[in-house]
Amino acid sequence: MDINIEDVGKGKKVSLSGEIDMHTSPELRKALLKLTKEKISPIIIDLKNVSYMDSSAIATFVEALKSMMSYKGSMRLCNLSPRVQEIFAFAKLDRVFTICKDIEDALSR
């Protein structure tokens, strides 16, 4: 998995690629919790190049989202593949996260 973080206005865009599983999610957790510790908002997660995601990835997003709630921050997920969308829907998290079509949609929210 690769993580690329860029400034977007007052927030950050976190572009992820590759597979997010039990092996790689600790690195993602570290990166996201660093941003939430700095009270960054919005955090836009671009999942366009994510080829696989397990429950530890979902747990990492939930943990970061909960951390952002303490400062009323906004996390937006975009470019979800149909499979990843299905995973979020199955876990009943599609109504918890702000899910956007693409980067433009995420920036306009």
Partner 1 sequence: MKKPLMHKAAITISSHPMYLSIVRVFLEKLLKLMDLPTYMVEDLKSAVDEACSNVIKYAYKNDYERTIKVSFECTSDKVEVVIEDRGEKPADTEFQGRDLRDLKPGGLGMHFIRKAFDEIRFRRIRGINKLTLMRRL
Shortest distance, position 61 Cβ to partner 1, whole Å = 9
Shortest distance, position 15 Cβ to partner 1, whole Å = 20
Query: How large is the C-alpha radius of gyration of the chain?
Result: 12
Residue type, 8: V
Task: Return the DSSP state at 39.
Answer: T
- Contact residues toward partner 1 (CB under 8 A) are 19, 21-23, 52, 54-56, 58-60, 62-63, 65-66, 83, 87, 90-92, 96
Closer residue to partner 1 (CB): 4 or 55: 55
Shortest distance, position 34 Cβ to partner 1, whole Å = 17
Shortest distance, position 72 Cβ to partner 1, whole Å = 16
Residue type, 74: S
Question: What pairing do the DSSP bridges indicate for beta strands 98-100 and 11-20?
Answer: unpaired
CB 45 within 8 A of CB 16: yes
Directed axis angle between helix 55-69 and helix 25-37, to 10°? 10
Closer residue to partner 1 (CB): 63 or 105: 63
